[in-house]
Amino acid sequence: MGKDFIVDLVAGVKKKKTHVCLGLDPDFERIPGHIKEMAINEYGPNRRAIGEAFLNFNREIITAVKDSVAAVKIQIAWFEEYGRWGLKALEETISFAHHNRLLTILDIKRGDIGSTAAAYARGFLGEVNFWYGVKKKLYNADAVTLNPYLGRDSLEPFIRLMKENKRGGFVLVKTSNPGSKDLQDLRLENGELLYEKVGAMVNSWGQDLISEEVPYSQLGAVTGATFPQAAQKLRELMPHAYLLVPGFGAQGAGPADVVPFFNEDGLGALINASRSIIFAYEKDSYPDQHQWAARQAAEQMRQDINKELKKAGRVAWE
């Protein structure tokens, strides 16, 4: 969207006074019926209609909440599931978010080696080769999520393009799902937990990506709000990493749980909520008021988090 992901993110957070990230997980079964009916009436009951329903739903949600959120995290799986029409909707969703001056985080959780990693990086953060030597941006995301478990070389192509193009990345460190304990909480011989080791590595990998304008790196980390007890240690290990914090709302975490993920400057964490915002209309069974419900949910979340941060003395704009 802009020239520098992390600078733009901090500026947007301060301007809108929000730490909320909108998660777009457009589950086809939960999209309001009238949106699906409109798509079927125009294209018939096929995959193209599903893609159009996704796009129309996403546009309406983004329009509704854009003043309350700093970024949009788009989960690629919901689009990939439906093939080319789903991915077309994904591309157009990113473009629409940019049109509304919102940063986009494409939740891909990729991590591979060699030429495969380079291809992923070009497609999501850089430019791809077209005919006659022409290069074009494809998805044009501002940032992506990354899986570190194949090692540094699996992330190097992404890190290189982050540096060249001023894009962002969030490495999985301590995820919000209960099963994250199966691997991420394993204790190493030196007494460290595995996720602590990964956090220290992310801090090291991101040193060359720290902005000259703000004290944060283009390379951040995914740390789940459902494990607030890990927050203090992770903040110590990654003082310059912006944390993408899922698990708020539908997964059970609340406003007080996310405070420890912030630095003393009131920055450093972007709190993601998906289902609790985009499907907020389901609480009152008003499918024709999904925009109103999403707007209310996003704004309430913004206010609740800011209230808790103010009590903790961690406000970025005062």
Which of the residues are catalytic?
Answer: 109
Look up residue 168 and give its DSSP letter.
Answer: E
Contact 272, 244 (CB under 8 A): yes
Number of C-beta neighbours around residue 90 at 10 A: 26
Name residues whose C-beta falls within 8 Å of residue 221's C-beta, 6 or more positions apart in sequence: 170, 171, 172, 173, 199, 202, 234, 238, 241, 242, 243, 244
Dihedral pair phi/psi, residue 269, rounded to 5°: -140, 135
Neighbouring C-beta atoms of residue 26, cutoff 10 Å: 24
Q: Where are the extended beta strands (E) located within the chain?
A: 20-24, 71-75, 103-110, 127-129, 135-137, 143-146, 168-174, 219-223, 243-245, 269-273
Q: Which two tokens stand for residue 93?
A: 């969703």
Q: Can you read off the two tokens belonging to residue 73?
A: 């995290």
